[in-house]
Amino acid sequence: MDFGMIGPGIVLGLGCLGSAVGCGIAGMASHAVMTRVEEGHGKFIGLSAVPSSQSIYGFILMILMRDSIRAGTLTAISGVGIGFFVGLAIMVSSIYQGMCAATAIQASAKQPAIFGKAFAALGIVESFSLFAFVFALLIIR
């Protein structure tokens, strides 16, 4: 068994877990709102998918961490630390982004004109995943 791959697995797993929870939270709000409004269902579905992007950050980091560990430029224990804490940041950001998306869905159902403005909060929450992603890139390279 290759224990060096635990860190890359952690970052991918936590990123995907967060995306799943975030999309689930937003998806439930989307379903509830679609029962009350007659149009704009595609917008609500789109909003509920926004937290899925963090799983991509985890996937990219998994590949880069794996390559760095194999090349000997990153130790396995460092990979576990980076994978856990960066993965945790990505996971929490995904979950909170799902919560923001849920309220954006509810608000834009009531007032459709604010739909575009609702993406501002989603982008701000996403930025913390991006910060963790970029800082991890700086550490492992």
Tell me the per-residue pLDDT of 30-85, one tens digit each, with 9 for 90 and over.
999 988 888 888 888 999 999 999 999 999 999 999 999 999 999 999 999 999 99
Does 13 reside within a domain? no
Q: What is the CATH number of the domain that holds 114?
A: 1.20.120.610
9 domain-assigned: no
In a domain? residue 7: no
C-alpha span between 16 and 5 (Å, rounded): 17
Q: Which residues contact 1 (CB under 8 A, 6 or more apart)?
A: none
Range of the domain at 125: 18-140
**Mean of the pLDDT values across residues 90-107?**
96
- What is the pLDDT confidence band of residue 1, given thresholds at 50, 70 and 90? low
Which is nearest to 140 in space by CA: 57, 87, 72?
72
Q: Which two tokens stand for residue 31?
A: 């379903």
**Lowest model confidence (mean pLDDT) among 13-17, 39-43, 99-103, 132-136:** 39-43
Residue 91 lies in a domain: yes
Neighbours of 63 (CB within 10 A): 12
Global pTM? 0.91
| Residue in 109, 123, 111 with CA at minimum distance from that of residue 50 | 123
The confidence band for 3, taking pLDDT boundaries of 50, 70 and 90, is confident
Count of the separate structural domains present in the chain? 1
What is the rounded average pLDDT for all residues in the chain?
Answer: 94
Q: Is 90 within the bounds of a domain?
A: yes
